[in-house]
Structure 1
Amino acid sequence: MKILCVGHEWRGSDANGLFYALARQGVITNTINEHRYISTGVANLFLKILHRLIRPLQVKSFNKEIIEQFNTFQPNIVLIYKGAFFHKNTMDYIHSFKIPVVVFFPDVSLFAHGNNIPQCIPHYDYIFTTKSFGFEDLKTKFNYPLEKVTFIPHGFDPQIHRPLNPIDNFKNDVSFIGNFSPHKAKVLETIVRRLPKINMKIWGGTWGRYNGELLKPYIVGNGIMGDAYSAAINSSKINLAILSEKVKGASSGDLITSRTFHITGAGGFMLHQHTLEVEKYYKEGEECEFYRSDNELIEKIDYYLNNEAERLKIAKKGYIRAVSQYSQDVRAKEVIEILNSKFENLSI
């Protein structure tokens, strides 16, 4: 099987983890690194304006590269990860050669990342979604045939998310690693108000959007990636897995997320916002902990900060569970099995 993979290829991205896992399973992959063509992580206002002006040229160059690599590599399937900058006319070109195009969609909403995603969704030959509610959204918003959809949760990348020695300047009692949202900020503000002496750290690339004052002393700065991400997990006594709320175009907020598997895969102790879905992956009080309310969150933070042996025991069992079932290699095997069952002539 030859797969042309399109998505972010920076060390630690979920797309990169999946692409490398596919290669470890014997797939011949060729990757087009979206990050090389599209500049999205700019913080300076002037550069943001400049990059918005040149974005159409970047997107045009990116899609041109997809076509050129497609012609050279001649894959028997094209895998798009998310597809925020993938053009419908590029898909049409690939389809003209009778080659299937599939998407692995990792986010809550199909409408929160520009126009390309909703324009392309009805025309994909198959869709993998990391959201169990993705079925409903695809059916109600696009009338997409559900026999061409599979739910595959996120996984952890064993080359990135692994036990590492703590870093002194990263050490903390409680951490949250992830992007800003109003719900997440509210939860973290509750912790600060109820536990004012807490040593807490907040990492994430979009916390500049936070317009309050209470959390500013705890916001470390930009996003943290690669080995530093795993080191931060291992430097935190308690790792919070706070879920994203419902956003425009989605029928639900997150029920599980990439952190659901990154934290345990790295060997960290995880305190996860409770949903019925996360109960399918971990045993509460044995492999991780859940919180259902502000009071339970505070009680469990206080308890596990004062019961290290129990905290470490749970973290170890969570790690064992993750390694046995939740790696990107496990996810890649499922992707390959489904592609082989749905499409013909995928062998080289």
Structure 2
Amino acid sequence: MNAVSTLLQAEQRDGYLPGYWEGYRFGGCQAVLGRIPVQPPDLFNLRVLYVPQGFDAIDQSIIAALKESAAELEVSLPGGMLEKAVSMQPDLVLVMNGLHVFPPEHTQHVDQIRARGIKVAVWFVDDPYFSDDTALLAPHYDEVFTHELTGVQLYRELGCTRVHYLPLAAGPELYLPQQVGEQYQYDICFIGNAFWNRAALFDEMASFLQGKKVFIAGGFWERLHEGQKLSSFIRSGWIAPEETARYYNGAKIVINLHRPTEPGQDNRNSRGLAGSSINPRTYEISACGTLQITDVREDLTDYYRPGYDIETFSSTAELQEKIAYYLGNEQERAAVAWRSLLTTRKYHTYRDRISRLLAAVSKA
């Protein structure tokens, strides 16, 4: 084989083939989206005041869904929700999470709104990691929604009479198939903080990841013992949701590992509640039409089918085996990702969740 032939083969391997498979993936995603029938939103004769949690990736999707389904929608910052509720007199005040960006007088304002005969609901989406805080907040609400199965029993034991399990979802306005530039294209991607179980996983995989194109981003990655081997893969700090979606689209495989729930440095969960429900990342990765390999939570199989529209692992060895397999089997990787996209867009968007929430409130 002469030098010219060798060069041409290298160009095909390093340029043409990655571009071909990215086009193949994206084209399949567009075909999948074209198969989903357009359904009108469910409509509810409710005037809603929405109080965001301050995380745009979720807030903006919920606002979009509420605009479709509620008779009227207004949005208030947490510090102004009492004044806004008094002037608007809504049928429902929906507080998202009630943590992190809320002022100290938060519960006092909730009590004052309820005293005026206005129904107030909260949707907790950080359970069970901050259950010490949410346990104090929940009794102040008429309706309590939680994405976490173990949270339902907790709030009922605390005397809350109307508690609902409502899983999270993906916002298709943000998390959707895209064609992205080379700077976002990796073999393996993980975006999230280095909780101790995540640091341990990547320490175990440090040697396996050598020679692959890997992107790891988030905080606390100084916890790694194998930081020297992995340092070239790591981008420290927060990644904006729009940027996150681009990295998901550009990756051949995205790893999802749920954070641990044990009380301690990273959690306020002194009751030691287990984590039984999947995180929003599960839906968001799938909504981008990318293969996801995730650890297993109890309710995962209520929403996805392992081996069909998602892949799972229970050990580092199994994860490495599946990464190696899917990196070498492009068509199978794309097929699982397409099925995951279809499942997510049909069943797991915030339009569905808000419809379920408003239906539950309407029945009260």
Common fold by TM > 0.5: yes
Give SS of 2:136's match.
helix
Deviation string 1:94-119 (CA, Å, 9 cap, x unpaired) is 01201111100001236468x5x443
Select 1:235's aligned residue among 236, 250, 253. Answer: 250
Select 2:201's aligned residue among 167, 174, 187. Answer: 187
2:52–2:75 contact (8 Å) kept in structure 1: yes
* Paired residue type of 1:247: E
Q: What's the offset of the Cα at 1:10?
A: 5.3
How far apart, CA to CA, are the structure 1 residues paired with 2:231 and 2:317?
Answer: 23
Give SS of 1:133's match.
helix
Q: What's the offset of the Cα at 1:289?
A: 0.6
1:57 counterpart residue number: none
Q: What's the offset of the Cα at 1:18?
A: 1.6
How far apart, CA to CA, are the structure 2 residues paired with 1:171 and 1:272?
Answer: 20
* Paired residue type of 1:17: S
1:154 counterpart residue number: 168
Q: What's the offset of the Cα at 1:66?
A: 1.6
CA RMSD of aligned residues (A): 2.0
2:321 counterpart residue number: 299
**1:219–1:33 CA distance, 2 compared to 1 (3 A):** farther
1:126 counterpart residue number: 143
2:113 counterpart residue number: 94
Q: What's the offset of the Cα at 1:68?
A: 1.8
Deviation string 1:174-217 (CA, Å, 9 cap, x unpaired) is 1112233111111222222333223221223x336636424433
Select 2:237's aligned residue among 199, 209, 222. Answer: 222
1:19 counterpart residue number: 63
How far apart, CA to CA, are the structure 2 residues paired with 1:322 and 1:292?
Answer: 23
1:176–1:239 contact (8 Å) kept in structure 2: yes
How far apart, CA to CA, are the structure 1 residues paired with 2:77 and 2:187?
Answer: 36
1:207 counterpart residue number: 220
Deviation string 1:11-47 (CA, Å, 9 cap, x unpaired) is 42x233222211122342211245xxxxxxxxxxxxx
1:11–1:225 contact (8 Å) kept in structure 2: no
* Paired residue type of 1:323: R
1:82 counterpart residue number: 97
Q: What's the offset of the Cα at 1:121?
A: 1.2
1:38 counterpart residue number: none
2:53–2:98 contact (8 Å) kept in structure 1: no
* Paired residue type of 1:137: L
Q: Does 1:105 align with 2:127?
A: no
* Paired residue type of 2:160: Y
Identity over aligned residues, as a percent? 23
Give SS of 2:215's match.
strand
Q: What's the offset of the Cα at 1:122?
A: 1.2
**1:207–1:166 CA distance, 2 compared to 1 (3 A):** farther
Q: What's the offset of the Cα at 1:233?
A: 0.6
How far apart, CA to CA, are the structure 2 residues paired with 1:302 and 1:253?
Answer: 29
How far apart, CA to CA, are the structure 2 residues paired with 1:110 and 1:73?
Answer: 34
Give the gaps of 5 or more residues in structure 2.
Answer: 1-45, 264-268
* Paired residue type of 1:174: I
Q: What's the offset of the Cα at 1:139?
A: 3.6
* Paired residue type of 1:124: Y
Give SS of 1:158's match.
coil
Q: Does 1:308 align with 2:330?
A: yes
- Aligned pairs for 1:253-332 (under 5 A) are 253=275, 255-332=277-354
**1:276–1:105 CA distance, 2 compared to 1 (3 A):** closer
Q: Does 1:165 align with 2:179?
A: yes
* Paired residue type of 1:234: N
Q: Does 1:144 align with 2:160?
A: yes
How far apart, CA to CA, are the structure 2 residues paired with 1:79 and 1:70?
Answer: 11
How far apart, CA to CA, are the structure 1 residues paired with 2:55 and 2:191?
Answer: 17
* Paired residue type of 1:72: S
1:207–1:219 contact (8 Å) kept in structure 2: no
Select 2:188's aligned residue among 153, 170, 174. Answer: 174
Q: What's the offset of the Cα at 1:154?
A: 0.6
Give SS of 2:190's match.
strand
1:243–1:255 contact (8 Å) kept in structure 2: no
How far apart, CA to CA, are the structure 2 residues paired with 1:244 and 1:254?
Answer: 11
2:276–2:298 contact (8 Å) kept in structure 1: no
2:48–2:70 contact (8 Å) kept in structure 1: no
- TM-score w.r.t. the length of structure 2 is 0.78
- TM-score w.r.t. the length of structure 1 is 0.82
* Paired residue type of 1:26: A
**1:27–1:8 CA distance, 2 compared to 1 (3 A):** farther
How far apart, CA to CA, are the structure 2 residues paired with 1:195 and 1:298?
Answer: 9
Q: What's the offset of the Cα at 1:77?
A: 1.2
